[in-house]
Amino acid sequence: MTSRLIPVAPFVLTVFGATGDLSRRKLLPALFHRDIDGQIPDDAVIIGVSRRPLSDEEFRNFARQALVDHVAESDLEGGALERFLGRLSYIAADADADPGWPELAHRVSGLPGHIPVYYLATAPHLFGPICERLGKFGLADHGRVVIEKPIGKDLESALKLNEQVGKIFPEDQVYRIDHYLGKETVQNLMALRFANALFEPLWNNAHIDHVQITVAEALGVEDRAGYYDTAGAMRDMVQNHMLQLLCLVAMEPPSSLEADAVRDEKLKVLRALKPIDDHNMASVTVRGQYRAGASAGGAVPGYLEELGSERSETETFVAVKAEVENWRWAGVPFYLRTGKRLASRVSEIVVGFRPVPHSVFGDAVGAIVPNRLVIRLQPDEGVKLWLMIKDPGPGGIRLTHVPLDMSFAKAFKVRNPDAYERLLLDVVRGNQTLFMRRDEVEAAWRWVDPILSAWRGAKDPPRPYTAGTWGPSAAIALIERDGRTWLEDGA
Ligand code: BG6
């Protein structure tokens, strides 16, 4: 396939946890897609590492199956699959023991012109030990390390983890992935705000009434109940993905897209979040847990059944009314809501503008609905701007509310790349703009910790909601108390 994309520099990517779920579902398919688009140089090398003793051939077979399962059949044709598999090799090594490491060091140092990248697709408790061994075997010097959430379970553990990684790798070699930042529409949010003169003058409390950020999933916790029960929706989604979205909506225009210019602005937002603790937790947060119900036309079990336990206080739903205490946003609530087993899978940001100050359409039929800008992350990525127009036809002015609707799939007719495709190549390019800096992660925990602590101290457990609904009714009350309502599709 001919490509208008520029290949990245040669690299040697070592994936720790190469036989795990993230590697199978996301990393290998992402690398493969970049390869067929011609972005991976011929001499790039991918080394899989895990504890399992496997030959190169066995690892290639594992990768072949992963690609058959996760890539469109038509993309695997024409020798593309075999060419990609030819890049792969395997080393068995344990984070806590030396065998295997000298061989890894030998292979990486045998490729002096290649950029060394280490992707830690492992459990977070292994980040420290793996970094230590990377240091011990001389692999850290020019290497870049990629880690992913959970980065800690609270501020204290995040500080410790960042410390362990930071002992070996300086911050400009650490890439903390939040895959939401690699999503096409999330980057589009920056394009929308900063490549158009239209919105920025209105982007403040004089013109914006409130913002809603919804990340709703129809699936339950499936086979991840073990991990999920130690995390819950606040740690799994709010501390990272949702706060990152909030930051991109609320940040001041950075002076450039340089990594630190963007990250400095996001950090200021996180630091300006109004604290939520024992005093206000009950009035501005709602947590829920799903019970058995229906999804996609079939009966589905409740969280406790999936967990195989009679009791758990882990929340599978969170709604929060957040506030950014600065000049631009004072008085503008940011309503966040996320949950598993909700009515449908939809992620979107709705920016609700203020109503017109005065209606000149005295007896026109149809109320004037305030404008809304809806940025739809998934599915059907796109942007909608809801406007009032006159209903066509004679008979006087009747007003109606319609969207200027730009669906990316219809407008561009290209495959929407997975977030990991973008992010993995950004690591090779040395571009940290879409990665979280250490102080951002820590600031997010500083806001989240007191909420978790207030919940722990509360007498009532998470509120039950039926699977396949929009969460506990208290979440509806949370926003309706303010005279607003959750908007599905911004309508
Ligand atoms: C992950 C969470 O970070 O994001 C999962 O751990 C969640 O629980 C997932 O399902 C959602 O990602 P996406 O890209 O499917 O919206």
- Ligand 1 close to Cβ of residue 236 (< 6 A): yes
pLDDT band at 314 (very low <50, low <70, confident <90, very high): very high
Nearest CA to ligand 1 atom 10: 217
**pLDDT of 365 over the 80 cut:** no
Does the annotation list 291 as a binding residue?
no
Distance between CA atoms of residues 35 and 29, nearest Å: 10
Nearest CA to ligand 1 atom 5: 236
pLDDT at 140 (0 to 100): 93
Q: Ligand 1 centre and the CA of 386: distance in Å?
A: 28
Catalytic residue (one of 33, 114, 210, 241) = 241
The answer to whether 103 touches 139, Cβ cutoff 8 Å, is: no
Q: How many CB atoms lie within 10 A of CB 71?
A: 19
Distance between CA atoms of residues 134 and 126, nearest Å: 12
Terminal CA-CA length for the chain: 41
- Give the mean model confidence (pLDDT) for residues 249-262: 96
Among 214, 236, 341, 348, residue to substitute to test ligand 1 (most atoms within 8 Å of Cβ):
236
pLDDT at 178 (0 to 100): 95
- Give the mean model confidence (pLDDT) for residues 277-294: 97
Does the annotation list 183 as a binding residue?
yes
pLDDT at 490 (0 to 100): 55
Under 8 Å CB-to-CB from 232, ≥6 apart: which residues?
287, 314, 315, 316, 318
pLDDT band at 66 (very low <50, low <70, confident <90, very high): very high
- Domain topology for 2-148: Rossmann fold (3.40.50)
Nearest CA to ligand 1 atom 8: 236
Q: Ligand 1 centre and the CA of 136: distance in Å?
A: 34
Among 22, 176, 179, 221, residue to substitute to test ligand 1 (most atoms within 8 Å of Cβ):
179
In this prediction the pTM is 0.95
pLDDT band at 324 (very low <50, low <70, confident <90, very high): very high
CATH code, 181-480: 3.30.360.10
Does the annotation list 136 as a binding residue?
no
Nearest CA to ligand 1 atom 13: 180
Please give the torsion angle defined by the CA atoms of residues 261, 150, 158 and 181, in that order, rounded to the nearest 10 degrees: 10
Nearest CA to ligand 1 atom 15: 217
Q: Ligand 1 centre and the CA of 212: distance in Å?
A: 19
Catalytic: 70?
no
Q: What is the CA radius of gyration of the chain?
A: 24
Joined tokens for residue 423: 């992010």
- Segments making up each domain of the chain, as ranges: 2-148, 181-480
Which has the closest alpha carbon to 463: 173, 190, 455? Answer: 455
DSSP reduced 3-state for 470: coil
Atom of ligand 1 nearest to the CA of 377: 16
Class of residue 104 by CB neighbours under 10 A (exposed 0-12, middle 13-18, buried 19+)? buried
Does the annotation list 159 as a binding residue?
no
- Ligand 1 close to Cβ of residue 217 (< 6 A): yes
pLDDT digits (tens, 9 = 90+) for 421-476: 999 999 999 999 999 999 999 999 999 999 999 999 998 899 999 999 999 999 99
Does the annotation list 22 as a binding residue?
yes
Q: Ligand 1 centre and the CA of 219: distance in Å?
A: 10
pLDDT band at 1 (very low <50, low <70, confident <90, very high): very low
Distance between CA atoms of residues 6 and 442, nearest Å: 35
Atom of ligand 1 nearest to the CA of 221: 8
Does the annotation list 21 as a binding residue?
yes
pLDDT digits (tens, 9 = 90+) for 369-409: 999 999 999 888 899 999 999 988 887 888 999 999 988 77
- Give the mean model confidence (pLDDT) for residues 365-370: 85
